[in-house]
A and B are shown apart, each in its own frame.
Chain A
Amino acid sequence: MGAIGGDAAPISINAGALPARTAIDASANTVAYRALYAALAVGIALAAAHAPANEATLALDRFAGAAIVHTLAVTTHLGSETFSASGSPTGAVGWLGALAAYLLGLGSATFGAFAAAFAALCTFVLVERRARRLGGRAFALAATALAALCAIGSFGCAGAIYTATFALVLAELLDRPGARSTILATLLAAVWCNVAPQGLLAPALALVFALGAHFEARSARECRYRWFAVAGTALAVLATPGFLSYPPIAFEAMRFDRGLDGIVAFHPADLVPLAYRTGFLLIVCAAFAVGLRRNRAGDVLLFLGAGYLALANGSYLPVFGVLVAPLLAASAAAAFPSMAQMRLGGSRGDMAIGIGATAVAACALLAAMQHPAAPVPAFALAASLSNDGHPHRLFCSNVDWCDAALGDGSSRTQVFMDGRVGAYPQRVRDAQRDIVRLKQHWLRTIGERRIDAMLLRIDRPLAGMLSLSHGWTVVASDDEAVLYERTGAVR
């Protein structure tokens, strides 16, 4: 029996008690459905396996993970790897994720890519299950495809797809109010907060579900458990080595703050252009077509919250996709009840297909690993600087590039600012922005900070200006970046 939600009363389907003709239709539909499901699963797994790794996050994870392993302690402050804000609290943001990534990375790049493919596949299997539960199987695949389109550009090792995975699992738990789900949600939030700064989304998500239940006048028991979940996930935010310092630093690290303008990119069209122009637009158009379910305040709040996340910072587009697409499946089922009642067989076969798709993806991945992707050019320049054995004080116009210069902690290169933007105080951010924008006294700031190496975007004024300044010389460049060193600096 499967129940389909919607504007109308839930519709029940009993696939086992069908007349002969309908049974044949059901069989054909099931075959078609499973074929599409398999194609989609294999496609997602392959896309994730072939996607380039998120070099910046990987580099930071390597650095932080190595520090934990070598010192057997969680780092809660910036160290001597930076010369601008040494001693500033980091809130221990993402320490568990870094440790896991470091330990897994000790194996090989293949393992990381496989983990990414597996995470992506699991995420979208979950999306399909959630969409099927809310709207029936007829629309579940379409919802999964829409969500997958939103994740284009976010696959790959250390990609943003992991945030979507956590958000989706939490949403599933919050959808089933009860003591066990509440405890699991709290535990999941605690893990999430230790793995990544995005763990801060957990109480926000729980709040959305609680308010939804409140406005929808759900039963007192349901409301109570949802508010317990809010309290639990809010407390989980403090269950990190950073304790009270985690929430503010994690919020900054999530890159919503417009005070970071000029230092990091925000807009989805800059960060994930293809996902924005396909997945996001298609979901918006689908919403125009079917609307949201009437009298479902929770749907509206979730749509609003996820939409804000996606528009405020494009790296959250996959979260928008996995949370909103199933809601649209539910709306579509309410709009087209006849299609929602399409007869289909059981769902165990789908699980088998998912596992099979993973196996196919794994084989394809092993073949793909024979031709490893070239490293991202600017990161290679930063890494080469840190590997030359000499001490440097490096400034990067793109802070994420400096992550590669951190190495595994043994590098003698110190950076002005790296991708841990949340940990750097405002004065450092202002100085970073002023230098990049050539604001007044930028040259003096460089001198005062004794910066002797600069990794700059090749097509920006700072690179051109430095070429006119005395005492700087180009030591390396590629299509994207140019590396300057002070003349006479020891190389």
Chain B
Amino acid sequence: MKYAWLIIGVFAARFFSTAISYPPGDGDLYWQRWLGAGILRTHVVPRSLGSEAFSAPYAPWVPQEWLFGMAAYAGRTGLGWDLFAGACALAALAALAIAALSATRRGASTRAVAVCTALAGVALFESFGVRAQVVAWPMLALLLFLLEIDGPWCYAAILVAAIWSNWHASAMLAPILAAVLAAGSALDERGFGRRTRRLTIVAAATLVAICCNPFGWDLPRYALGLFNNPIKAYISEWKVTDIDDTSFAFGALPLLILAAFAGVRGSGDRRFRDLFVLCAFGFLVLSAARNVGVFAIAALPIVASALSRRVPFFEAVPEAPQTKADRMAWIALPALTFGIAVYVGVKLVAGVPAQGGLADAPLAALAKMPGTHNIYCSDFAWCSLALGKPGERVFLDGRADPFPRDVWEDFAKIVRLDRTWRATLDRRHVDTIVVKRDEPLDQALAVTPGWRAGYADKTFRLWLRASLAAERIRTGT
């Protein structure tokens, strides 16, 4: 584990600097802060969209990230932001540390743990950000760690699942994993033994635990619905994992190859449990790019211990009794790496300019224009910036999931200039469009009568309906 600490320290520098220098390119934080502010103001977690979404007002919504939204709102500026963003970095590091610790407990050698931790760290790179799913990573690592324990501590997984369900809907994985492990355990024990019974109880209890949130049964129902939801086709995070994705190619894929090379043979009494976990996460990682991180967290302990068993280079060597220097190193190495991380992080933050990519300028210009606006953004996440602004309503924004399928289909029709795109804009009463300059929709609007550019900069253009046309569209005449 001692080398793993060094590696985690290196990743700490990266994660802290990324987190603190974030403003995101995906706009999620804007609607999450808006959600958090609403909850803190009204003391109610909303269960439907409001009139701010003119395409689907009052459509049912499960704001699964409600707790994260409140934290995001609390930590929106200054020191609060540093603490909030730093906590997200800590979450990613905690996930790595717990998984590495789990590998050590399973008897993996120092070398194997170090190599697998490095690969897992790389796998987390692309998915990392100040995002709710990052908070879910340590929950997953902790859950798997606890489910490994052959004793009463295993039941602590139920509590983890309950907490997890208040941060992110991926808590749905908890009962599934517990059930998968129970099935594996039954095969390992060749019957319904003590461990299997315990895991079965945990599986049932976690199913109840993930309903311990403001949404109750709606949360797992929502999570299950996502598996087959066609809107995933429109969201880049859900795209199928590609060998060109850096985190996959240099992090998850090597782990997957090492897992395939070493296999779970010789895992003793955990052979089928390991196999089922690997298969489940193998399916997830090859299905969607957003699962690269969770695969790495789950695979790290299994692959490290398998390598230690099967590859002589990684075999665990019996360690000599700890000297005073070793004991010092246990404390000094993490402390040193943490210090380096903070130093490098601060330096990086100072040197890295804030990321752009969000349409804040055109939306700021729009805010100064009189009247009400029904806004369509060619990247739906940009519209998150318009939430809560008086007179501005959005067609589709970063909340994404609650918008019905027909809204997504119309969104795609417009952005892809389908044959009916102009009719769709009229039918949906869109009178304001935010686009990137020279993208296809921008070019199309330039040659379409009834639209005029209300704002333009080097990156974005804001299109407004010509006033007469806008009035006709609004009144339906």
Binding between chains A and B? yes
Q: Which residue of chain B lies nearest to A258 when distances are taken between CB atoms in the complex? A: B244
Query: Is B335 part of the binding interface, using a Cβ–Cβ cutoff of 8 Å?
Result: no
Question: Given the complex, which residues of A lie within 8 Å of B279, measured CB to CB?
Answer: 285, 288
- Taking each of B240, B260, B440, which has the highest tally of chain A beta carbons within 10 Å of its own beta carbon? B260
Q: How far is the CA of A438 from the CA of B435 in the complex (A)?
A: 14
Q: In the assembled complex, how far is the CB of residue A326 from the closest CB belonging to chain B, in whole angstroms? A: 15
Q: Which residue of chain A lies nearest to B448 when distances are taken between CB atoms in the complex? A: A468
Q: How far is the CA of A461 from the CA of B438 in the complex (A)?
A: 12
Question: Given the complex, which residues of A lie within 8 Å of B438, measured CB to CB?
Answer: 439-440
Q: How far is the CA of A313 from the CA of B13 in the complex (A)?
A: 36
Question: Given the complex, which residues of A lie within 8 Å of B415, measured CB to CB?
Answer: 461
Q: How far is the CA of A289 from the CA of B261 in the complex (A)?
A: 10
- Taking each of A258, A284, A459, A460, which has the highest tally of chain B beta carbons within 10 Å of its own beta carbon? A284
Question: Given the complex, which residues of B lie within 8 Å of A342, measured CB to CB?
Answer: none
Query: Is A227 part of the binding interface, using a Cβ–Cβ cutoff of 8 Å?
Result: no
- Taking each of A289, A304, A307, A439, which has the highest tally of chain B beta carbons within 10 Å of its own beta carbon? A289
Q: How far is the CA of A141 from the CA of B438 in the complex (A)?
A: 56
Set A267, A280, A439, A459: member contacting B242, Cβ < 8 A: A267
Q: How far is the CA of A307 from the CA of B253 in the complex (A)?
A: 10
Query: Is A311 part of the binding interface, using a Cβ–Cβ cutoff of 8 Å?
Result: yes
Please tell me if the beta carbons of A290 and B242 are within 8 angstroms of each other in the complex: no
Please tell me if the beta carbons of B243 and A459 are within 8 angstroms of each other in the complex: no
Q: Could you say which interface size class chain A belongs to?
A: 35 or more
Contact with A along B416-438 (1 / 0, CB 8 A): 11110100000000000000001
Contact A468-B447, Cβ < 8 Å, known A289-B275, A290-B265, A304-B257:
yes
Please tell me if the beta carbons of B263 and A287 are within 8 angstroms of each other in the complex: yes
Query: Is B359 part of the binding interface, using a Cβ–Cβ cutoff of 8 Å?
Result: no
Query: Is A428 part of the binding interface, using a Cβ–Cβ cutoff of 8 Å?
Result: no
Contact A284-B440, Cβ < 8 Å, known A258-B244, A289-B275, A465-B417:
no
Please tell me if the beta carbons of A291 and B260 are within 8 angstroms of each other in the complex: yes
Query: Is B262 part of the binding interface, using a Cβ–Cβ cutoff of 8 Å?
Result: yes
Query: Is A331 part of the binding interface, using a Cβ–Cβ cutoff of 8 Å?
Result: yes
Q: How far is the CA of A469 from the CA of B446 in the complex (A)?
A: 11
Query: Is A464 part of the binding interface, using a Cβ–Cβ cutoff of 8 Å?
Result: yes
Contact A291-B261, Cβ < 8 Å, known A267-B240, A459-B416, A464-B418:
yes
Q: How far is the CA of A294 from the CA of B445 in the complex (A)?
A: 62
Contact A464-B444, Cβ < 8 Å, known A303-B260, A311-B243:
yes
Q: Could you say which interface size class chain B belongs to?
A: 35 or more
Please tell me if the beta carbons of A288 and B444 are within 8 angstroms of each other in the complex: no
Q: Which residue of chain A lies nearest to B248 when distances are taken between CB atoms in the complex? A: A311
Please tell me if the beta carbons of B447 and A291 are within 8 angstroms of each other in the complex: no
Chain B residues 434 to 476 lying within 8 A of chain A, measured CB to CB, are: 438-441, 443-444, 447-448
Question: Given the complex, which residues of B lie within 8 Å of A311, measured CB to CB?
Answer: 243, 253
Set B286, B421, B439, B444: member contacting A280, Cβ < 8 A: B286
Contact A291-B263, Cβ < 8 Å, known A304-B257, A438-B443, A459-B416:
yes
Q: In the assembled complex, how far is the CB of residue B376 from the closest CB belonging to chain A, in whole angstroms? A: 15
Question: Given the complex, which residues of B lie within 8 Å of A439, measured CB to CB?
Answer: 438
Please tell me if the beta carbons of B240 and A290 are within 8 angstroms of each other in the complex: no
Q: Which residue of chain B lies nearest to A312 when distances are taken between CB atoms in the complex? A: B243
Q: How far is the CA of A311 from the CA of B252 in the complex (A)?
A: 13
Contact A288-B264, Cβ < 8 Å, known A438-B443, A461-B441:
yes
Contact A281-B283, Cβ < 8 Å, known A287-B263, A461-B416:
yes
Q: In the assembled complex, how far is the CB of residue A182 from the closest CB belonging to chain B, in whole angstroms? A: 29
Question: Given the complex, which residues of A lie within 8 Å of B261, measured CB to CB?
Answer: 287, 291-292, 300, 303
Please tell me if the beta carbons of B263 and A288 are within 8 angstroms of each other in the complex: yes
Q: Which residue of chain B lies nearest to A461 when distances are taken between CB atoms in the complex? A: B440
Please tell me if the beta carbons of B440 and A290 are within 8 angstroms of each other in the complex: no
Q: How far is the CA of A469 from the CA of B419 in the complex (A)?
A: 13
Query: Is A467 part of the binding interface, using a Cβ–Cβ cutoff of 8 Å?
Result: yes
Query: Is B4 part of the binding interface, using a Cβ–Cβ cutoff of 8 Å?
Result: no
Question: Given the complex, which residues of A lie within 8 Å of B443, measured CB to CB?
Answer: 438, 465
Please tell me if the beta carbons of A464 and B419 are within 8 angstroms of each other in the complex: yes
Question: Given the complex, which residues of B lie within 8 Å of A303, measured CB to CB?
Answer: 257, 260-261
Question: Given the complex, which residues of A lie within 8 Å of B240, measured CB to CB?
Answer: 267, 269-270
Please tell me if the beta carbons of A290 and B263 are within 8 angstroms of each other in the complex: yes
Query: Is B14 part of the binding interface, using a Cβ–Cβ cutoff of 8 Å?
Result: no
Please tell me if the beta carbons of A464 and B440 are within 8 angstroms of each other in the complex: yes
Question: Given the complex, which residues of A lie within 8 Å of B97, measured CB to CB?
Answer: none
Q: How far is the CA of A284 from the CA of B295 in the complex (A)?
A: 14
Query: Is A463 part of the binding interface, using a Cβ–Cβ cutoff of 8 Å?
Result: yes
Contact with B along A318-347 (1 / 0, CB 8 A): 000000000000010001000000000000
Q: How far is the CA of A465 from the CA of B444 in the complex (A)?
A: 6
- Taking each of A287, A288, A335, A439, which has the highest tally of chain B beta carbons within 10 Å of its own beta carbon? A288
Q: In the assembled complex, how far is the CB of residue B120 from the closest CB belonging to chain A, in whole angstroms? A: 17
Q: How far is the CA of A300 from the CA of B448 in the complex (A)?
A: 58
Question: Given the complex, which residues of A lie within 8 Å of B259, measured CB to CB?
Answer: 287-288
Set B264, B441, B448: member contacting A291, Cβ < 8 A: B264
Contact with A along B395-429 (1 / 0, CB 8 A): 00000000000000000000111110100000000
Please tell me if the beta carbons of B264 and A289 are within 8 angstroms of each other in the complex: yes
Q: How far is the CA of A420 from the CA of B286 in the complex (A)?
A: 30
Chain B residues 241 to 278 lying within 8 A of chain A, measured CB to CB, are: 242-244, 253, 256-257, 259-265, 275, 278
Binding site for A on B (CB under 8 A): 240, 242-244, 253, 256-257, 259-265, 275, 278-279, 282-283, 286, 306, 310, 415-419, 421, 438-441, 443-444, 447-448
A-B contact pairs, 18 of them (CB 8 A): A288-B259, A288-B264, A289-B275, A290-B265, A291-B264, A291-B310, A304-B257, A311-B253, A335-B265, A438-B439, A438-B443, A439-B438, A460-B416, A460-B417, A461-B444, A464-B416, A464-B417, A469-B447
Closest 6 CB pairs of A and B: A291-B263, A464-B417, A461-B440, A287-B260, A269-B240, A311-B243
Other than A267-B240, A311-B253, A465-B444, give 7 A-B pairs with Cβ distance below 8 A: A285-B282, A288-B279, A291-B306, A439-B438, A461-B415, A461-B416, A463-B419
